[in-house]
Amino acid sequence: MKKDRQLILALDVLSQERALELAEGLAGYFDAIKIGYPLILAAGLGIVGKVSRLAPVIADLKVADIPNTNRLICEQVLDAGAGGLIAQAFVGRDSLEACVKAARDRDADLYVVTEMSHPGALDFMAPLAERMAALAVEVDASGVVAPATRPERIRAIRSVIGRRVIISPGVGAQGGSARDALQAGADYLIVGRSVIEARDPHAAASALLQSLSP
């Protein structure tokens, strides 16, 4: 993924028409577009290929199954056009290795979830986040997902993963600050509702981009 803007759009809308309209209009502000279950379930897997003609797609399926099922899921979405995908670490090394292999075979990036951005992540994930980050390094993932809502946790996870990429959701609608997350060590911010649900998504994306320039 080219690091021009440090921004990834979370395209959490429920129609192909709206998704393509937003992707076409906003691709210039973002380095990649993240597509997850809401859009894929609403519009079908074909939306991955359609959006990938406009921007690199990260498939956010938070893959979390046994190795063989993980492989099948990853292959489906990568062969549909995704250039990257997101998997969960808590299912363990062998499951994650299946995702890494599927991604590597297709020159794609795998990002591993460490600690999520919502309050509930403190229940089970936070105490294990550093171990999950270490596992991401051990399986040679491209990077990790870490919470913009807790910049201090980005810092802690950065200290485990070295120079691997951190993509970070939680800015805007979830209350995280873009600047704080970047200062803590995030490489890319994942931003959804504060742009796509804004009255003027272009203006919102442009303002966000400008707010990041020094």
d(C-alpha 33, C-alpha 138), whole Å: 27
- For 51, phi then psi, to 5°, come to -70, -30
d(C-alpha 85, C-alpha 76), whole Å: 11
Among 127, 193, 200, 211, which residue sits at the site for ligand BMP (rule: CB under 6 A)? 193
We find the least distance from the C-beta atom of residue 191 to ligand BMP, in angstroms, to be 5
- Single out the segment in contact with ligand BMP by CB under 6 A; choices: 49-57, 65-73, 191-199, 201-209: 191-199
The site that binds ligand BMP (CB under 6 A) totals a number of residues, namely 18
Let me know how long the chain is. 214
Q: Which residues are the active-site residues?
A: 62
We find the least distance from the C-beta atom of residue 64 to ligand BMP, in angstroms, to be 12
Judged by CB under 6 A, does residue 36 bind ligand BMP? yes
Judged by CB under 6 A, does residue 174 bind ligand BMP? yes
- The binding track of 2-21 with respect to ligand BMP, each residue x by CB under 6 A or -, is --------x-x---------
We find the least distance from the C-beta atom of residue 111 to ligand BMP, in angstroms, to be 9
Judged by CB under 6 A, does residue 182 bind ligand BMP? no
d(C-alpha 8, C-alpha 133), whole Å: 21
Whose tokens are 């921004």? That residue is 7
Whose tokens are 């993932």? That residue is 141
Among 116, 141, 156, 181, which residue sits at the site for ligand BMP (rule: CB under 6 A)? 116
Q: Is 167 helix (H, G, I), strand (E, B) or coil?
A: strand
Helix (H) or strand (E) holding 99, with range, is helix 93-105
Contacts of 57 (CB under 8 A, 6+ apart): 32, 33, 34, 35, 48, 51, 81, 82, 83, 84
Judged by CB under 6 A, does residue 128 bind ligand BMP? no
We find the least distance from the C-beta atom of residue 173 to ligand BMP, in angstroms, to be 4
Positions in the binding site for ligand BMP (CB under 6 A): 10, 12, 36, 60, 116-117, 145, 147, 169-170, 172-174, 190-194
